[in-house]
Amino acid sequence: MTDHEGRGASDRPVYAVEPWCVREPELRLDRLAQGESVFALSNGHLGLRGNLDEGEPHGLPGSYLNSFFEQRPLPYAEAGYGYPESGQTVINVTNGKLIRLLVDDEPFDVRYGRLHEHERVLDLRAGTLTRRVEWTSPAGCRVRISSVRLVSLTQRAVAAIRYEVEPVDRPLRVVAQSELVANESLPDLGDDPRVAAALESPLVGEEHVHNGTKVILVHRTRRSGLRMAAGMSHEIDGPGRTAVDAESSPDVGRMTVATELEPGQRLRIVKYLAYGWSSQRSRPALHDQVVAALAAARHTGWEGLLEQQREYLDDFWRGADVEVDGDAEVQQAVRFGLFHILQAGARAERRMIPAKGLTGPGYDGHTFWDTETFVLPVLTYTHPDSAADALAWRHMTLPMARERAHQLGLAGAAFPWRTIRGQECSGYWPAGTAAFHINADIADAVVRYVDATRDERFECEVGLPLLVETARLWRDLGHHDVEGVFRIDGVTGPDEYSAVVDNNVYTNLMARRNLQEAAAMAMRHPDLAERLGVSTEEAASWRNAAAAMLVPYDQRLRVHPQSEGFTNHSKWDFAATKPDHYPLLLNYPYFDLYRKQVIKQADLVLAMHLCGEAFTPDQKRRNFDYYEGLTVRDSSLSAQTQAVMAAEVGQLDLAHDYLGETALMDLHDLARNTRDGLHIASMAGAWSGLVAGFGGMRAADGCLAFAPRLPGGISRLAFRLRYRHNRIRVTVRAENAVYELMEGPGIKIRHHGDEFTLGDEPAERPIPALTALPRPAQPPGREPVPRRTDPHLRETEGPPGADSLSSPG
């Protein structure tokens, strides 16, 4: 994936730094689209961008249903065998957020009249977005408006809004219009007219009905053949002479409330929303599904929905919270990230977790390998059911992955690099065809989940078929050379500035694990493996390929080349590269990038994180130093991996710098494209940088291992994990770490190599001293912004405003 805009920072903070919420104390129209992403609410099935209730002004309107998409053409200058013929793009579905307000016939619009107060708060414990406004119309009518919005984490199809209006100093006529609107006008959709045509009014009306305060709209897509229904129902509390009227048309449903308010009186509207979609169910079935969801929501009631939301999140935070003393911005950011990661997967229920979640249309709403590699580790140890659902969705797409492998002349399954429904949607063939590492990324996520949960049913029904089919692809894709070494040639690894290379170390190591684990799982379940056609000979061939896997090593430089021959390439001329020429892919031909030593995002360094057992501590230090000098971070996926490995090799302050970059990607809009949606994988990096980085957390074979150490800027770190029916809390200070079993039967812990069993009593262990090492250099101008406030450090290690990043990649 590629972000197409460079790094930047707002001239002044948009959000107050608070530990349990994101507060916007004033409305910033210049940052409106960013706020719509930051304040988005979702449950993995339904996502609502944080647009203003009245709909205008807006940066980018957005309401999304997971995996609800329209097809669009994929243009090619020249056709080629195996190229995908059509793409899939998430579409803005029927907008139910709208509540327009007229005060004495004057529309409420923050761009007119006088805005005395405007505050929005995303509450990370309540799961709500609250807005408070005091406004005087151009005619001098002053009103207070408040709204609270939620997308239910307990009732999958449901969202709700409580909207209140009251006059400040004199009687007012008030009219509120609560609406459902399909086929909203959107901002510029890009330069390709075919894409614009596909997404212009993508919904075709099939039904519109209204009854009392309830409205239902049913639509289908023009090309992809999907059907959706949206409904709204209301509870109204106002003075006795309040009038209510409802109407509907194919693309608009409207309920109008008119009343007169004296000072001290209030109009309150509770709006319940319900959404459903299907590729198979009939129009009447979807209609009835939405009616039922509305009935359930009204039965629960507004206060009930709030209570359920709080209970759900209380349970989540009991097993997921991270506390950071010494860096208030990172403290806020890691909780903000955990909240949005939960929202992205909580109720996805066998559908994908997109790269932007359901917060915006970036990357066309696609999922990539980032989900399995960066997001699922967080969910596996904090909300494992969501990790299982995401992998179950991959299992559901196995037939399409097998078909893709067959098209490419390979055995097994070839999972797509980017997709919504399971078909490959990338027109960039070095990734869409050659980035086979997605197979091993999925297998790695399966192995991690099974280890963390001991979910045998999942292992048998989902895990084993995924591991078998991915192993079959590796065995067919690679080959034993004349010396018996197993090679995997012509692939693209995580670094997109290198493509179609031989024996990418990350790919080979992850494929080796895939092959080993597939053979081991088949051995644990021989009857099931036999049903999948796995013979003793086939499993043995997997083990043989894994044992003979080539892992290139440069004896001259004493480092691992990213891929075979990589360290023989000439190095990129970083000194001659202007700051405004980053990201490089927008200013230089890929051909030039491919044949130089320059790295978009962590690749070999990512291999050291995920396959750490394949490297000695000395190799990790040398590799890390070498690749620091080549990595330009034109991808937001990179900083989190560099944070984790910097911490492991003892570069704690550098790790803190990278942690800040990944954690604040969206709150500070570092890539200047948060308007298109949040970077879910980058937000996962805040958790990884703290837990896997400074906590040194690794897990395998029923044991949690920790090697905690803190940088100078953090005085205490505490985090909670779920592992094998245990809930544990780890507290790290400079001199020691304390391990506590909060719930569960007990667990085996390894602390800096020393193993013990954690039971009812907390265990305190000292942290060994660390030998200081010289700090490695980054390419000029690509240094991370320092987290510490030492002015000498800022002067010598790079200016805070240095353009050193771009985006997910």
* 81 and 200, same domain (yes or no): yes
pTM score of the predicted model: 0.95
Which residues is 63 bridged to in the sheet? 48
* 300 and 401, same domain (yes or no): no
Label residue 191 by pLDDT band (50, 70, 90): low
Rounded Cα distance between 309 and 155, Å, is 9
pLDDT recorded at residue 5: 36
What is the pLDDT averaged over residues 64-79?
88
Closest CA to 628 of 493, 785, 775, 794: 775
For the cut 70, the answer to whether the pLDDT of residue 190 exceeds it is no
Q: Is residue 543 part of a domain?
A: yes
* 310 and 445, same domain (yes or no): no
469 in catalytic set: no
For the cut 90, the answer to whether the pLDDT of residue 561 exceeds it is yes
- For residue 497, give the CATH number of its domain: 1.50.10.10
* 440 and 302, same domain (yes or no): no
Q: Given 24, 54, 496, 628, which residue is catalytic?
A: 496
3-state secondary structure of 376: helix
Identify each DSSP E strand in 683-735 by its residue range.
698-700, 703-706, 716-723, 726-733
Burial class (CB in 10 A: 0-12, 13-18, 19+), 774: exposed
pLDDT recorded at residue 201: 87
**N-term to C-term CA, the chain:** 4
Residues 520-555: b if buried by 16+ CB within 10 A, e if exposed: ebbeebeebbeeeebeeebbebbebbbebbbebeee
Torsion of CA 623, 625, 630, 635, to 10 degrees: 90
For the cut 70, the answer to whether the pLDDT of residue 806 exceeds it is no
3-state secondary structure of 490: coil
* 305 and 402, same domain (yes or no): no
Rounded Cα distance between 330 and 24, Å, is 17
What is the pLDDT averaged over residues 557-581?
97
- For residue 224, give the CATH number of its domain: 2.70.98.40
Q: Is residue 363 part of a domain?
A: no
Angle, in degrees to the nearest 10, between helices 617-628 and 638-648: 140
For the cut 50, the answer to whether the pLDDT of residue 799 exceeds it is no
Identify each DSSP E strand in 298-410 by its residue range.
322-325
Rounded Cα distance between 134 and 140, Å, is 12
* 310 and 401, same domain (yes or no): no
Angle, in degrees to the nearest 10, between helices 464-477 and 398-407: 10
Burial class (CB in 10 A: 0-12, 13-18, 19+), 795: exposed
Q: Are strands 142-151 and 46-48 parallel, antiparallel or unpaired?
A: unpaired
pLDDT recorded at residue 11: 59
* 416 and 281, same domain (yes or no): no
What is the pLDDT averaged over residues 768-791?
87
Q: Is residue 627 part of a domain?
A: no
* 418 and 274, same domain (yes or no): no
Burial class (CB in 10 A: 0-12, 13-18, 19+), 258: middle
Structure tokens at 512: 């080796």
* 404 and 301, same domain (yes or no): no
* 288 and 174, same domain (yes or no): yes
What is the pLDDT averaged over residues 336-359?
96
What length does the chain have? 809
Closest CA to 262 of 175, 176, 170: 170
3-state secondary structure of 329: helix
3-state secondary structure of 110: coil
10 Å Cβ neighbour count for 733? 16
What is the pLDDT averaged over residues 179-194?
75
Question: Residue 4 to residues 1, 45, 188, 789: CA-CA distances in angstroms?
Answer: 10, 28, 16, 31
Structure tokens at 231: 């409904």
For the cut 60, the answer to whether the pLDDT of residue 795 exceeds it is no
Identify whether 589 is preceded by a cis peptide bond (ω within 30 of 0). no
Closest CA to 582 of 809, 808, 807: 807
Residue 581: phi and psi, rounded to 5, are -95, 10
Instruction: Give 197-223 as a DSSP string.
Output: HHHSS-EEEEEEEEETTEEEEEEEESS
Structure tokens at 603: 């690749």
Whole-number CA gyration radius for the chain? 27
Domain limit, last residue, from 284, 303, 318: 318
Edge-to-edge order in the sheet of strand 726-733:
322-325, 716-723, 726-733, 736-743, 763-766
Q: Is residue 753 part of a domain?
A: no
Domain limit, last residue, from 495, 529, 552: 552
Q: Is residue 466 part of a domain?
A: yes
Quote the Cα angle for 173-174-180, to 5°: 155
Rounded Cα distance between 467 and 471, Å, is 6
Report the mean per-residue pLDDT for the chain. Answer: 93
Structure tokens at 676: 């298109």
Q: Is residue 353 part of a domain?
A: no
Closest CA to 432 of 408, 409, 467, 398: 408
pLDDT recorded at residue 189: 53
Domain count along the chain: 2
Domain limit, last residue, from 514, 531, 552: 552
Q: What percent of the chain has pLDDT over 90?
A: 90
Q: Are strands 63-65 and 747-751 parallel, antiparallel or unpaired?
A: unpaired
Lowest-pLDDT choice from 1-5, 106-110, 259-263, 501-505: 1-5
Q: Are strands 63-65 and 69-73 parallel, antiparallel or unpaired?
A: unpaired
Rounded Cα distance between 282 and 287, Å, is 9
- Tell me the binding residues: 369-370, 600-601
* Structural domain span for residue 174: 40-318
For the cut 80, the answer to whether the pLDDT of residue 807 exceeds it is no
3-state secondary structure of 750: strand
Residue 671: phi and psi, rounded to 5, are -90, 0
- Tell me the binding residues for substrate: 369-370, 600-601
Tens digits of per-residue pLDDT, 204-254?
A: 999 999 999 999 999 999 999 999 999 999 999 999 889 999 999 999 999
Quote the Cα angle for 200-205-210, to 5°: 130
Label residue 404 by pLDDT band (50, 70, 90): very high
For the cut 50, the answer to whether the pLDDT of residue 794 exceeds it is no
- The answer to whether residues 127 and 27 touch, using CB atoms and an 8 Å cutoff, is no
Q: Is residue 159 part of a domain?
A: yes
Tens digits of per-residue pLDDT, 613-653?
A: 999 999 999 999 999 999 999 999 999 999 999 999 999 99
Q: Is residue 267 part of a domain?
A: yes
* 432 and 542, same domain (yes or no): yes
The H-or-E segment that residue 38 falls in is: helix 32-38
* 303 and 419, same domain (yes or no): no
Instruction: Give 426-442 as a DSSP string.
Output: -S-HHHHTT-THHHHHH
Tens digits of per-residue pLDDT, 516-528?
A: 999 999 999 999 9
For the cut 90, the answer to whether the pLDDT of residue 331 exceeds it is yes
pLDDT recorded at residue 198: 52
Burial class (CB in 10 A: 0-12, 13-18, 19+), 227: buried
